[in-house]
Chain A
Amino acid sequence: MILYLALLPLWWYSLPALATVAGVTGDWIYGLFDPRVSINPDRRIVRVFVTAPAINDPQTTSSGLRLDTVTYGLPMLAALVLVTRADSILAKMRALVVGLGVMVVLTVPAVLAWAKLTSLEVDEKLAFGSGDRSSLLFYAFHGYAFSQPVVAVAIWLALMMLGLFKAKSRQKAPIVAVARNAPCPCGSGRKYKRCCGLVSP
């Protein structure tokens, strides 16, 4: 818990960088499907702009997603990984990088879902005069944002179960053929053919 509180400022000051990564990637992916929508990072916020076609004058609607609301599981995951016993520092660092990487990558679909929600709201306003956000996508987005600590715990469990805290097994020594009359490599002092190389009838 102390480590988590210590990591909170680090996460807070890294939010602009995270917003840039998630915003730029999200903008590129969303642009492939719907060019009306643009996603721009703005410090700790990712802004979504939707250009709605009007008869003479296209209007742009925007909404902002605070990136802290979809990434606050990151410091918790980092704290969980850092306090977990690992075979080596290298194994721990590998688990940390993989875990945080997965969580950062998951931020992109969250940004895309927010952009889609904004786009749907604009379309519904145009069609019905009001935007209704009670869709499955809305619940999925808020479920993900709301369950950040649970997402962190799930990723941490995955890292443990997939053995990322264990050191990589060293390459096995090449098998060397032992002559039948040579001393046995097990160290018994007997000939190989009378020890480990004994062939039962």
Chain B
Amino acid sequence: MPTSQRVVNFIHANRKAFRFLVVFALTFAACYFVFGIVPGVRLGLIQPYTHFLASAVAAVINVFGAGATTIDSQVLSPRFSLSIAMGCDAVEASSLFLAGVLAFPTSWRARLIGFAFGIPLIHAINLARLVGLYYAGVYLPSVVEELHVYVAQTIVILLSTAILILWLDRFAVQHRQS
């Protein structure tokens, strides 16, 4: 069989998988563009959200006596200060989850269930990550940058993927469209 025919057969046999992957990639790119780049959305929605995140982080660490205050999206404390910038807002992890939920062929009821429990859970995990990074900055200041880039971000994405797989397993497959 010629190679071109084998490629065509492979694509035809896996057309559902390719459809999922294309919709997934396009949805993720669209979400990333809208929430991460479009100035109106960034300044009108994401920036106020980062201010809220800074207040939430300060509230949590102040329970343990950090004595932190906030200015816009900065958390200032005598021992360590955080600036919640682009990428610390869980937009990327939420976009990943959103893209997975929208790309999988299932009912809108299952999708709404996914959004209702998945998105808040991802943002709660992100808040925990920021609190963790504050304490990493206090107790491990020499490696906080490496922890921030290579560990904390990866944990959030891995947990978002785990939530997506849980949703696929528990809800999406049961309501799968024929």
> CB of A146 within 8 A of chain B?
yes
Count chain B CB atoms within 10 A of each CB in A139, A150, A157 and give the residue with the most.
A150
* A–B pairs, 25, beta carbons within 8 Å: A1-B155, A1-B158, A72-B150, A76-B157, A139-B33, A143-B36, A143-B37, A147-B32, A147-B92, A149-B157, A150-B92, A150-B95, A153-B96, A153-B157, A154-B24, A154-B25, A154-B28, A157-B21, A157-B100, A158-B17, A161-B17, A161-B20, A162-B14, A163-B14, A163-B17
Q: Which residues 64-104 of A have a CB within 8 angstroms of B? A: 72, 76
- A-side contacts of B150, CB under 8 Å: 8, 72
Q: Which residue of A lies closest to B160 (CB)?
A: A153
Q: How many A-B residue pairs have CB under 8 A?
A: 55
Contact of B154 among A149, A158, A161, A162 (CB under 8 A): A149
Taken residue by residue from 155 to 197, chain A's Cβ proximity to chain B (1 for < 8 Å, 0 otherwise) reads as 0011001110000000000000000000000000000000000
- A-side contacts of B29, CB under 8 Å: 143
- A-side contacts of B73, CB under 8 Å: none
- Would you call the interface of chain A mostly helix, strand, loop, or mixed? helix
> CB of A49 within 8 A of chain B?
no
B interface residue numbers (CB < 8 A to A): 14, 17, 20-21, 24-25, 28-29, 32-33, 36-37, 87, 92, 95-96, 100, 149-151, 153-155, 157-158, 161
A interface residue numbers (CB < 8 A to B): 1, 4-5, 8, 72, 76, 139, 143, 146-147, 149-150, 152-154, 157-158, 161-163
Per the bound structure, the CA–CA distance linking A8 and B149 in Å amounts to 12
CB of A4 to closest CB in B, whole Å: 6
Per the bound structure, the CA–CA distance linking A76 and B152 in Å amounts to 12
Contact B36 A149 (CB under 8 A): no
Contact A76 B92 (CB under 8 A): no
- B-side contacts of A163, CB under 8 Å: 14, 17
- B-side contacts of A5, CB under 8 Å: 151
Count chain A CB atoms within 10 A of each CB in B20, B149, B151, B154 and give the residue with the most.
B154
Contact of A143 among B24, B32, B151 (CB under 8 A): B32
| Contacts beyond the supplied A72-B149, A139-B37, A153-B161: 17 A-B pairs with Cβ under 8 Å | A4-B154, A4-B158, A143-B32, A146-B87, A147-B28, A147-B32, A149-B92, A149-B153, A149-B154, A150-B92, A150-B95, A154-B24, A154-B25, A157-B24, A158-B21, A161-B21, A162-B17
Q: Which residue of B lies closest to A134 (CB)?
A: B37
